Chain A
Amino acid sequence: MILASTAVGLLIAMAFALTRAIKGPTVYDRILASNALGTKTVLIIAVLGFLVGDPGHYIDIALMYVLIGFIGTIAVLKVSEFGDLGQTQPVDSEPPK
Chain B
Amino acid sequence: MRINKNIAISDMGFVFNPVNGESYSVNPIGVEIINLLKEDKSYEEIKATILNNYSTDETTFEKDYFDFTNLLLHLNLTETEDEKNN
Is A bound to B? no
Chain B residues with a Cβ under 8 A of chain A: none
